[in-house]
Amino acid sequence: MKKLSLILLLGLFVFPLYGQVVDLGDGALAAKIKASEKPYKVVYILCDYCEPSLVLYPQIHKLLAGQKNVDFYPVCAQSRAEVEAYMENYKVGGPIYVVNQNRKRKWYAIIDFYNPISATGDYLNRYLGIDADKMGASSFVVLDGKNKVIAQTTYETEDDACLGILKNAIGL
């Protein structure tokens, strides 16, 4: 038993830990975002199979990691297992917040028409009042301390412009 405990303990130090997946529940996550007292909140739509998310998310995560005046909320409506696999496979940090985990899954459907990008946009609209009609994977919105939108990207925003928009919005 002691050997097993030692192996598990060493594993924590030898193998890098990446981010964590957080499921607070849809309403609780929205309340957490709204209650943040930071001057800026960045809410980012993440989807693991979207190429811009694979490129842009790590860049934004790195940019915001040391910022004391920003709370970062990467949000994804995929299953917890899919997000955990993405984080492990691509060695990305977190936390990543999952929403819509209680959706009804059709066990009899051969083809699943569920769109996690659209579901995340619907979440932003329903719970935070953000017009997310043109937002896609790797889009983000920057809220001020009073939860007003001060910058927003869409699926039409060029990938190379996103970091500039974010830096400008939060004063970097």
Q: What does the pLDDT look like over 99-118, one tens digit per residue?
A: 877 766 655 556 667 778 88
Residue 34: is its pLDDT beyond 90?
yes
Q: What is the pTM of this model?
A: 0.81
Q: How far apart are CA 19 and CA 119, in angstroms?
A: 22
Per-residue pLDDT, 52:
78
Task: Name beta bridge partners: 43.
Answer: 73, 141
* Mean pLDDT across the chain: 82
User: CA angle, corner 143, sides to 120 and 124, nearest 5?
Assistant: 15
With tokens 């709370």, the residue in question is: 71
Label residue 4 by pLDDT band (50, 70, 90). very low
Smallest CA-to-CA distance from 128 within 46, 21, 23, 36 is with 36
Q: What does the pLDDT look like over 134-154, one tens digit per residue?
A: 998 889 999 999 999 999 999
Every domain of the chain and the residues it spans = 17-170
Q: What is the CATH number of domain 17-170?
A: 3.40.30.10
